[in-house]
Amino acid sequence: MSTQSLYKVPGDIAANALINNEQYKKMYQESIVNPDGFWREQGKRIDWIKPYTKIKQTSFDDKDLSINWFYDGTLNASANCLDRHLADGSDKIAIIWEGDDARDQRTLTYGQLHDQVCRFANVLRSQGVCRGDVVTIYMPMVPETAVAMLACARIGAIHSVVFGGFSPDSIASRVNDGQSRVIITADEGVRGGRSIPLKHNVDLALEHPDVQCVEKVIVLKRTGSDIYWVEGRDIWWHSLMELASEHCPPEEMGAEDPLFLLYTSGSTGNPKGVLHTTGGYLVYAAMSHEYVFDYKPGEVYWCTADVGWITGHSYMVYGPFANGATVLMHEGVPNYPSPARLGEMIDRHKVNILYTAPTLVRALMAEGKEHFEEYDGSSLRIMGSVGEPINPEAWRWYHEVIGHEHCPIVDTWWQTETGGILITPLPGATDTKPGSATRPFFGVKPALVDNQGNILEGANEGNLVLLDSWPGQMRTIYGDHDRFVLTYFKTFRGMYFTGDGARRDEDGYYWITGRVDDVINVSGHRLGTAEVESALVAHEKVAEAAVVGYPHDIKGQGIYAYVTLIHDTEPSEELRQELRQWVRKEIGALATPDLIQWASGLPKTRSGKIMRRFLRKIAANEVTNLGDASTLADPAVIDTLIESRLNRS
């Protein structure tokens, strides 16, 4: 193995880890050669009502697609996350919560969480929610959000969490897609010193003429601010909870019954409702949480992701709670009111494991390490990264300044669709290289293929695919199974296509190079360029728009929009601001274009298809080697765009 920039597993970690390198190799081999035997054992880490006898029945053939795991077993996810831990003592802490204002502190034991979940499950039932119904959750980062999710799971309802940063329009389309009759929200959320009008956004979403399905809105009082109230539709969380019984036996669910829906962006069309089922997902989330973070009982684990993303689902709720972990949950952002907040929280709560995103590391790095002079950090043992490629410079800064050079970093590659981590180091097993997600997790068979789908061997670069199923895999796109098959299994026959590109080095380590489709990754948030484009063209002054990502120091990628205005409209700085605000209103703040370049024309093929590769290069200021422009209907467009490109340095 090349030793350049190799970070060896620290000896004390290897000696005490759940998995060392020998074990990794042996278990990985077993998981690939004998998946049934491997997963038969791993499935036992959770409690089944009726034990499974069938393990894996899967095929990636697009004509005969099937994904079934543990499929004759029955279980309940909330009982696995709560009830079974009560035997070791209901006083064990499940959630340590710190508000946006650090003076707001709460803890919930497993006993208390269980009590709340049972009550809220009864509340949902009292509002007519049945097994199989979709319930939308639009909530801030408070313990009640986990309560709401687990309460849905308890009665077999399917939760659909919508990130609190999304706009009323985005809420409306998700609510409608799932035909949700109940929405759970809060009066306001609080983040970085600002309040977020969650209930107001729900009100606006429900004014949408297309949204007819919603009957009840359950509102948690978080800030107590004045809100608009619709009698008969809106109900306070606390008044319902007062009346509810704390007795609620868990519903017996089939392993392949849906657990939740989570919308994510693809390269075309509206966000897709990714559907995860119960048994395989829970086994995979619990197992990966334990092994990837080397989680030991009693440790304090902090994941900074918002619960509105898959990371919040798998590694703040289901994985950790299935393992009986103590989870630190933070309402706000870890660099508010100052960059020192992250270190203060690690020290205050004696955090042992930290899981965060490269964009935060880069933001802290830009502020300077002096904010960490008071930081002790001695509790910290393992650090994780997720959401986007971590550049080696940020990796090293994270290792030195936050990890004091003794904490292994697990750079975990995965997706909403994969349900759990697929490529990652294990702290006690894998020597790391800054910027590499390293090796596949158990049961995962990655491969690289060229654009024709030929498998590339050895050290190589290509499209990242997966050759076989793993239990945490999504099962379908809600309401559109054909789109599921088309999106993931038709590009390369017989393989799951991730949409990412990757390089494999001479040691077999994977280096994710980023999306190869029209999805961009802004601060670890996935966004389809088509979504931003359709928001832009919905503005009355916009004739056409093309959106691409460009390299951004903090966000990883920024949003660069080329906009053609309608005839006789003069570009102006004011209009530029107006368009930025417009997109923000249409989708949410995370979609706000960073840069808008006025374009009198866009580079198109003769059949009218926009050639984005030129636009990407111009946005990245890589204009010396643009490649062949001969297929363009009007090659002169390119020169005009280069002349007027924005100086972004």
Binding-site positions = 191-194, 311, 335, 387-389, 411-416, 500, 515, 523, 526, 537, 539, 542, 584
* Residue labelled with tokens 């936050």: 402
Q: Which residues fall in the annotated binding site for ATP?
A: 387-389, 411-416, 500, 515, 526
Closest to ligand 6R9 by CB, 203 or 294: 294
Q: Does residue 343 belong to the site contacting ligand 6R9 (CB under 6 A)?
A: no
Retrieve residue 519's tokens.
């999805």
Compute CA 397 distance to the chain's CA centroid, rounded to the nearest angstrom: 24
Distance CA 135, CA 185 (A): 11
Residue of the chain from 60, 375, 414, 489 that contacts ligand 6R9 (CB under 6 A): 414
Question: In angstroms, what is the minimal distance from the CB of 483 to ligand 6R9?
Answer: 16
Contacts (CB under 6 A) with ligand 6R9, residues 246-265: 264
Q: In this structure, are residues 556 and 523 in contact, taking their beta carbons and an 8 Å threshold? A: yes
Distance CA 643, CA 608 (A): 23
* Residue labelled with tokens 């270190």: 343
Retrieve residue 290's tokens.
């334990």
Residue of the chain from 160, 180, 311, 597 that contacts ligand 6R9 (CB under 6 A): 311
Q: Return the SS3 of 174.
A: helix
Stretch that binds ligand 6R9, among 448-456, 509-517, 605-613, 632-640 (CB under 6 A): 509-517
Closest to ligand 6R9 by CB, 356 or 521: 521
Residue 19's nearest CA partner among 498, 439, 371 is 439
Question: In angstroms, what is the minimal distance from the CB of 549 to ligand 6R9?
Answer: 11
Upstream peptide bond of 197 is cis (omega within 30 degrees of 0):
no
- Contacts of residue 585, defined as CB under 8 A and 6 or more positions apart, other chains included, come to 167, 169
Stretch that binds ligand 6R9, among 326-334, 412-420, 472-480, 606-614 (CB under 6 A): 412-420
Length of the chain, in residues = 649
Residue span 370-409 as binding mask against ligand 6R9, x where in contact by CB under 6 A, dash where not: ---------------xxxxx--------------------
Distance CA 20, CA 23 (A): 5
- Contacts of residue 534, defined as CB under 8 A and 6 or more positions apart, other chains included, come to none
Retrieve residue 608's tokens.
């009218």
Q: Does residue 437 belong to the site contacting ligand 6R9 (CB under 6 A)?
A: yes
Compute CA 173 distance to the chain's CA centroid, rounded to the nearest angstrom: 19
Residue of the chain from 185, 304, 416, 438 that contacts ligand 6R9 (CB under 6 A): 416
Question: In angstroms, what is the minimal distance from the CB of 514 to ligand 6R9?
Answer: 6
Residue of the chain from 126, 270, 415, 644 that contacts ligand 6R9 (CB under 6 A): 415
Distance CA 312, CA 332 (A): 14
Q: Which residues fall in the annotated binding site for CoA?
A: 191-194, 311, 335, 523, 584
Q: Does residue 526 belong to the site contacting ligand 6R9 (CB under 6 A)?
A: yes
Cα distances from 473 to residues 64, 289, 498, 555, in angstroms, run: 17, 15, 12, 28
Stretch that binds ligand 6R9, among 7-15, 130-138, 514-522, 573-581 (CB under 6 A): 514-522
Residue of the chain from 133, 203, 299, 500 that contacts ligand 6R9 (CB under 6 A): 500
Closest to ligand 6R9 by CB, 42 or 311: 311
Q: In this structure, are residues 392 and 421 in contact, taking their beta carbons and an 8 Å threshold? A: no
Closest to ligand 6R9 by CB, 211 or 516: 516
Residue of the chain from 76, 521, 523, 529 that contacts ligand 6R9 (CB under 6 A): 521
Per residue, the 3-state secondary structure of 41-57, as one string, reads HHHHHCCCCECCCCCEE
Question: In angstroms, what is the minimal distance from the CB of 425 to ligand 6R9?
Answer: 11
- Contacts of residue 150, defined as CB under 8 A and 6 or more positions apart, other chains included, come to 77, 78, 81, 82, 113, 117, 317, 321
Residue of the chain from 168, 273, 420, 499 that contacts ligand 6R9 (CB under 6 A): 499
Retrieve residue 50's tokens.
């009726």
Closest to ligand 6R9 by CB, 206 or 303: 303
Please work out the total of residues on this chain that contact ligand 6R9, with binding judged by CB under 6 A: 24
Distance CA 202, CA 188 (A): 11
Note the residues at the interface with ligand 6R9 (CB under 6 A): 264, 309-311, 385-389, 411-416, 437, 498-500, 512, 514-515, 521, 526
